[in-house]
Structure 1
Amino acid sequence: MRKLIVSLIVLIILLVAVDRVAVAGVQRDLANRIAAATDLSGTPTVTIEGIPFLTQALSGHYPEVRFDLGTLTYAGVPVRNLRGAAYDVTAPLADVLQNRADIRARRVTVSGTLTRATIDKFAPRGVKISGNGRRLVASGEVMVGVKKVTFEAEMTVEVADGGIRLQAEKIKDLPDQAARFISYTIPFQGKLPFDVKVTGVKNVADGLEFAAEASDVPLRG
């Protein structure tokens, strides 16, 4: 009986070791594919969620694969903390082992942050943007006709054609018509990883965080 228990323990340890070695290999392969798909010079961090891994590998189906791309620049706009997840990834084990291209995800989501420095960079001259993750405020001086006027305004943010739009509202010390001198768009037309489309944006402590997604995405090496 004791020998049987010892044998079972050894078998479990071996299976766990094989599981971890296998997941490291597939994560490395997926990292290379994601790097190729996003034109990265380095290798992203990839994590396959779920334990045990071997059952996923044998079935060729991975419910969730997370990746971290770091900081990248798109159409002159730097994006920090660019990360995402691929869901319902179909990757037959034979295709992975033989480096075939027939690997795809049913859905991919990506998020990233535009920093305060980026927000200020695209603001109109004389406009300074500040925020604490709850409110986004514009302040400064703008020319209205031939007169320079000091102002403060709350800003709303939304996805717009050609980028991310910051719209002035509740303008203090200026007529509402002056919003056009304060409102602006951060151009965001670069090709994001996996051709994801921006679906939303929100104000956070570090800047503006956007969300994007795409469906039926190939992961080609």
Structure 2
Amino acid sequence: MDPLPRRRARRWPIVLACVLLLLVMAVAVADRLAAAYAERTMASEIKKEGFPTTPDVTIKGVPFLTQVVSRDFHDVRLKAKNIAEGPLNITRLDARARDVHVDSGFRSGTLGSVDGSAFVSFADLAKAGGEPAMELKAAGPGKVQANVDLGVTEGTATASVTKEGGNIRVKALSVEDFPLEDLGDTLDFTVPVSGLPMGLAFQSLTVGKDGVSLAITGRNVKFTDQ
């Protein structure tokens, strides 16, 4: 009769391990469900700060529930698409917020710092500059190139793309086949970048293969339940 109780006794560690595993899994699922709820709620409120559609919000850090207790989050990612910025359309915005503090309902709070980029396609840049038919392409660091047709003649022009105050400045530098002065205002325009969502500021720009990336920042950015 002794072997049977011993076998049962040996099963207890296995049963206990299974119970603990199930508890860990339940806590992990609850943690992710809570994070998903917080992300949706926070995104809905942040949308009211100048986003045309609800941005994608991802709260980093595991476990999430320990962050809820303090309502402080060290790493929050924001993504949004097709943001109308005056005459300019921002194709996509990617930002990282640090030191985020929210209220108990995740409906208002402060983003301690925000850093990221706003991408503008060449097509949207040309359209905002009043040249919707002009096809721009990268021509090296801080430069773009375009074929220009003046009716009686045409050629390939190169222009610089720089930050000038709070604007994107596109200015022709050279042109093949005819004098630069014949271009007039073609490939010479300024696009304002102001009123970005949440009061974010445009700091610098780089010209890439498919468009222009704007470095954006913000400090102590608030969002509220309006």
Report the residue type matching 1:34 in the other structure: I
Paired residue for 1:184? 188
CA change 1:185–1:55 in 2 (3 A) is: farther
Gaps of 5+ in 2: 1-12
Are 1:127 and 1:138, in contact at CA under 8 Å, matched by a contact in 2? Answer: no
TM-score normalised over the length of structure 2: 0.79
Q: Which has the higher contact order (CA 8 A, sep 6+)?
A: 1
Q: Distance in 2 between matches of 1:181 and 1:198?
A: 25
- Shift of residue 178 of structure 1? 6.0
State yes or no: 1:197 paired with 2:211: no
Q: 1:59 aligns with which of 70, 80, 90?
A: 70
Q: Which structure has greater strand proportion? A: 1
Compute the displacement of 1:204 (Å). Answer: 2.3
Correspondent of 1:210 among 190, 211, 214: 214
Instruction: Provide the residue aligned with 1:131 in structure 2.
Output: 137
**Residue identity (%):** 23
8 Å CA contact retained: 2:204, 2:216:
yes
2:32 to 17, 20, 31: 20
Segments of structure 1 that go 5 or more residues without pairing to the other structure are: none
Runs of 4+ more than 6 Å apart: 124-127
Q: Which structure is larger by alpha-carbon Rg, 1 or 2?
A: 2
**Aligned pairs, number:** 211
* 1:30-87 superposed Cα distances (whole Å, 9 cap, x missing partner): 11121111253x4221111122212222232211111222212121222112232221
Secondary structure of the 1:165 match is: strand
| Residue 9 of structure 1, CA deviation | 0.5
SS in 2 for 1:108: strand
State whether residues 30 and 46 of structure 1, in contact with CA within 8 Å, keep that contact through their aligned partners in structure 2: yes
TM-score, with length taken from structure 1? 0.81
Aligned: 1:89 with 2:95: no
RMSD: 2.8
Within the alignment, does 1:68 sit opposite 2:79 as a pair?
Answer: yes
